[in-house]
Structure 1
Amino acid sequence: MAIERVLSGMRPTGNLHLGHYNGVLKNWIKLQHEHECLFFVADWHALTTHYDTPEIIEESVWEMVIDWLAAGVDPANATIFIQSRVPEHAELHTLLSMITPLSWLERVPTYKDQQEKLSSKDLSTYGFLGYPLLQSADILIYKATQVPVGEDQIPHIEFTREIARRFNHIYGKEKGFEEKAEAAIKKLGSKRSALYEEMRNAYQQSGDEEALDAARSLIEEQQGMSMGDKERLLGYLEGGGKMILLEPEYKLTPASKMPGLDGQKMSKSYNNTISLREPADVVAKKIKTMPTDPARVRRTDPGDPAKCPVWQLHEIYSNTSTQEWVQAGCKSASIGCIECKGPVIDGVLAELKPIQERAAQYAEDPTLVKNIVAEGCEKARKLARETMRDVRDAMGLNYS
């Protein structure tokens, strides 16, 4: 079975909240036990929209890493690093920009969406236009096979696949490629060579995707084979040249069910969040002042949980019997809104308590956090350097 390498990042633009925990971090924590994972602080990406307030980024970088660790991201199971500490990202971004048609960047759906949403900022910058390509460089430099994204980010992964395909098409025409690929097939041994040829024919002649996947797995399993020969076999398999950059797949992230305090999606821009390190009394106060069903003007007025933002939190934090108590009590006006909010407060605080205890330990030992990141940066940079060596070779930039 081929090794799956997962890559994901987060922009450091403020305190992490329960929306981040339920929408991203819980998924990361699960993935780190299933695949090789790299998680990075996307500080250069933050500059695309916060270029005029870099102090927000600077303050948020280390706090965000503490939140990741406190939530359960484990440096023993995942590589944690900072984007700007691996300058190869910028080098690959620059080299890819030489072959990227301008129209490809302008058609990325989030480009116009973000400009409209952040209309108060001047986003007519080269950095903002090019951020999908920087995102592609982030992924391609680690030869990531899976990128966890929400539905709105799928076009970014498709864009990255197009960039990898274009790069491989332009620069994968290695001199004597077919002869080198045929020589690599012989290195598989007679039985595996025959199997490879059979699966290659099945894919190229009838588009058999299962045969393609099986052949890829066969190549990845070869222990004593060089990376160059593996890439030649992968390229030959698909009928192209040497596969220098790997086309990633998107891994759809389960949608976060965490609503904000007003029932909308939890977001800093809506000012409806509960931060991961918010004090217990502040959390309780925020939930106690949440809006409820407008029909319940007086304590004796019956309500409908479906029209109340608090009910959405009960769906996450309350067990079945509590939910039944809420439904019956709200509709009959036998319980008041403050009473109804009690179990939600308890549930949120119970979830935050262990996170906050771990965060306090990391906050007291900043050297430990910086050492974790330094080690992660070194691991990431080693992988990035390997890819850049291949890229420079392919583009004729390794002058001797």
Structure 2
Amino acid sequence: MVPVGKDNAAHVEVTREIARRFNHLYGEVFPVPDLVSAETPTLVGTDGRAKMSKSLGNAIALSDEPAEARRKVMGMYTDPNRIRADVPGTVEGNPVFKYHDVFNPNRAEVDDLKGRYREGKVGDVEVKEKLATALNAFLDLMRERRARYEADKGLVDELIVKGTERTRREVQQTMFEARKAMGLAGVYTQLRRKAERSRKPAATTA
């Protein structure tokens, strides 16, 4: 099972096709991966652009502190045709309400804000303030875990080293199984031994 975002779904499909072709030609060696895609809708950028991107500066990072996250929320793009709080606004396609739908678990509050927004009875500031509160509540658990891991000195380095060593073992075993299925295991062993012998310094005679 491979959890990826929509942008990387095509890569998983290419991997599936390669695994199927290899297995068809040489026998079952590679598991055919299944795609696990999040049902969460793609979030637009805080500037209203179609995609949130760190390089565009329109993203809220999971590592943002509460004040920084609130600052970004308060600067979010909303309904450009709404010049005053008493002007009926558009909820559909409005980035602030898209974020509310994803991060605000208080559905009654969200429905109330949407209703009043459409009627011109609530300002953008209140809508954004409540979004900032909901978003920071969502991020607080991640901030706590991040702080806990940062406080455990050496933990991340240890995980990287252990993960790398485990990956190397998995790769070596997988390559052995692939070569064996293709009838190349013996050939590869011969080539490796020949290469090792060629790298050894020649014996010197007195």
Q: In the TM superposition, what is the alpha-carbon distance from 1:357 to its structure 2 partner? A: 1.9
1:248 to 32, 46, 50: 32
Distance 2:24 2:89 in 1: 62
- 1:214-233 equivalences under 5 Å are none
Q: Would the alpha carbon gap of residues 323 and 397 (structure 1) be closer, same or farther in structure 2, given more than 3 Å must change?
A: same
Deviations 1:219-250 (A, max 9, x none): xxxxxxxxxxxxxxxx3xxxxxxx3x314233
- Partner residue of 1:391? 178
- 1:284 is aligned, of 63, 70, 77, to 70
Residue 316 in 1 paired to residue 102 in 2? yes
* Distance change (3 Å), C-alpha of 1:330 and 1:397: same
Q: Which residue of 2 aligns with 1:350?
A: 137
* Cα distance in structure 2, aligned partners of 1:351 and 1:365: 23
**Aligned ranges 1:97-112 → 2 under 5 Å:** none
Which secondary structure does the structure 2 equivalent of 1:262 belong to?
Answer: coil
Secondary structure of 2:78 counterpart: coil
Picking from 234, 241, 259, the partner of 2:44 is: 259
Corresponding residue number in structure 1 for 2:15:
160
- Give the unaligned 5+ runs of structure 1: 1-145, 173-234, 236-242
Aligned residue number for residue 113 of structure 2: 326
Q: Is the 8 A contact 1:293 1:308 kept in 2?
A: yes
8 Å CA contact 1:261–1:286 kept in 2: the answer is yes
Contact 1:302/1:331 (<8 A) preserved: yes
2:132 match: secondary structure: helix
1:342 aligned counterpart, secondary structure: helix
CA RMSD after TM alignment: 2.5
Q: Distance in 2 between matches of 1:292 and 1:327?
A: 13
What CA distance in whole angstroms lies between the structure 1 residues aligned with 2:98 and 2:121?
Answer: 20
Residue type matched to 2:34 in 1? Y
Residue 273 (structure 1) shift: 0.7
- Counterpart-to-counterpart distance in 1, 2:92 and 2:148: 40
- Aligned with 2:35: secondary structure? strand
Quote the Cα distance in structure 2 between the aligned partners of 1:255 and 1:325.
Answer: 25
The answer to whether structure 1 residue 337 and structure 2 residue 135 are counterparts is no
Change (3 A) 1:362 1:260: same
Contact 1:362/1:369 (CA < 8 Å) preserved in 2?
A: yes
In the TM superposition, what is the alpha-carbon distance from 1:278 to its structure 2 partner? 0.9
Q: Deviations over 1:195-229 (max 9, x none)?
A: xxxxxxxxxxxxxxxxxxxxxxxxxxxxxxxxxxx
Aligned to 1:134: none
Q: Which moved more, 1:254-263 or 1:370-379?
A: 254-263
Q: Deviations over 1:51-74 (max 9, x none)?
A: xxxxxxxxxxxxxxxxxxxxxxxx
Alpha-carbon separation, structure 2, partners of 1:276 and 1:343: 18
**Correspondences of 1:173-212 after superposition (within 5 Å):** none
State the SS of the aligned residue for 2:101: helix
For residue 349 of structure 1, report the CA deviation from its aligned partner.
0.6
List gaps (5 residues or longer) in structure 2.
194-206
Percent of pairs with identical residues: 33
Structure 2 letter corresponding to 1:288 = M
What TM-score does the superposition give when structure 1 sets the normalisation length?
Answer: 0.42
Is residue 149–residue 250 contact of structure 1 (8 Å, CA) maintained in 2? no
Check whether the contact 2:12–2:35 (CA below 8 A) recurs between aligned residues: no
Which of 148, 160, 164 is 2:3 aligned to?
148
| Largest Rg, 1 or 2 | 2
SS of 1:273's equivalent in the other structure is coil
